[in-house]
Amino acid sequence: MKKTLFALAALGAFAGAASAQSSVQLFGTVDLAARYVKNGDVKRTDLASNGNSTSRLGVRGVEDLGGGLKAGFWLEAAVNPDSGTADSSRFWGRRSTVSLMGDFGEVRLGRDKMPTQLAFEAYDVFGATGIADINTTYRVPSGITVAANSRADNAVQYFLPGNLNGVYGSLAVAAGEGVTGGKYMGGRLGWASGPVDVSVAYGQNEITDSDDFKRFVVGGSYDFQVVKVLANYQETKFQDQKDRHMTVGASVPFGVGEFKASYSKIDGRGGAIADRDADQFAIGYVHNLSKRTALYTTYAYIKNDGTANYVVADNGATSMTGRKSQGVDVGIRHSF
């Protein structure tokens, strides 16, 4: 009897140690807002998702392999909580990766965001989400498809370890596998210490055997405590088409809340985008009810010039060339 009890105790201790070496976490965000958008003369009010943060559902885990080596996985899907539907034709469209991590850094395989996109979004005071998202006024040159623009399938990435005195960075390659613009090669290098964060990134996608879509991004932020200032500059190029995107933004803490504002200038040059220019203005406020729940409101305005036809959000307007777009939303975001 004593031997049996000892064996059961030993087995229980072993199982506890084994489970302590591995962890699996279910996580997600639900974000919904009442939104009004006016594009030209077309007006519409919706219950819209992703005003402050992208609604998502994910599962991730890490296993300790010993000797400082770890294995991990990450599966993440975008969802539409207003209708209960998936926000993509592929369920794990936001991320589906498996990783090996250690003192050497991290090697990550699968679908994920590319270094150039991460660098572009890192210095958007609105977190690259909602009607003030700087991605709203970012577009690849006319006449081409860039499959691996923000995220890439079939990607292999390497991330520097986190013990390099603030230096961080990554390199990525993605196999095109016959998809136009799906073949990607690029990287990002940055430095973050105290209130400072700066980085530069470059990437290119193969469009044809002789032509690549090239993307360069540089940005930075400085936290003065009473205000945090962010700025970035992006230039994309394909053949004779060159698009320049410049953004400055600021966030001001106010009690449990935060005020935000940003301005972007879009300048199209050459070829079909020679006159595709626009200005984007945005202001917002986030009121944190807890660490996981917040109320927010955002107003955004885009002034299109020439052949530009950007919109803060789609509302069915068929012609926006040279016209104005604006919108406002009030919503709630909860993370778990």
Rounded-to-integer distance, Cα 36 and Cα 54, Å: 18
Q: Which residues pair with 275 in a beta bridge?
A: none
The structure tokens listed for 268 are: 């199209």
115 φ/ψ angles, rounded to the nearest 5 degrees? -55, -40
* pLDDT score at 29: 98
Q: Which domains does the chain have, with CATH numbers?
A: 23-335 (2.40.160.10)
Collapsing DSSP to helix, strand or coil, 100 comes out as strand
Is-contact 125 176, C-beta < 8 A? no
Of the candidates 202, 239, 200, the residue with the CA atom closest to the CA atom of residue 220: 200
Query: Which residue is listed with tokens 């292999």?
Result: 156
Buried b (16+ CB within 10 A) or exposed e, 137-174: bbbbbeebebbbbebbbbbebebbeeeeeeebbbebbb
Rounded-to-integer distance, Cα 298 and Cα 284, Å: 4
Number of Cβ within 10 Å of residue 235's Cβ equals 16
The 8 Å CB, 24+ separation contacts for 137-140 are: 137/245, 137/264, 137/266, 137/278, 137/280, 137/302, 137/310, 138/234, 138/245, 138/266, 139/243, 139/310, 140/213, 140/236, 140/238
* pLDDT score at 8: 35
* pLDDT score at 261: 98
Rounded-to-integer distance, Cα 66 and Cα 42, Å: 60
* CA of residue 295 relative to chain centroid, distance: 21
Q: Which residues pair with 99 in a beta bridge?
A: 72, 108
* pLDDT score at 5: 38
* pLDDT score at 17: 41
Of the candidates 99, 93, 92, 95, the residue with the CA atom closest to the CA atom of residue 62: 99
* pLDDT score at 272: 87
* pLDDT score at 13: 40
Find the angle CA(83)-CA(86)-CA(92) to the nearest 5 degrees.
160
Find the angle CA(40)-CA(296)-CA(223) to the nearest 5 degrees.
105
Give 180-232 pLDDT, tens digit per residue.
999 999 999 999 999 999 999 999 999 999 999 999 999 999 999 999 999 99
Find the angle CA(124)-CA(29)-CA(247) to the nearest 5 degrees.
5
DSSP secondary structure letter of residue 195: T
Contacts of 57 (CB under 8 A, 6+ apart): 28, 76, 77, 79
* CA of residue 227 relative to chain centroid, distance: 23
* pLDDT score at 142: 82
Q: pLDDT below 50 — which residues of the chain?
A: 1-20
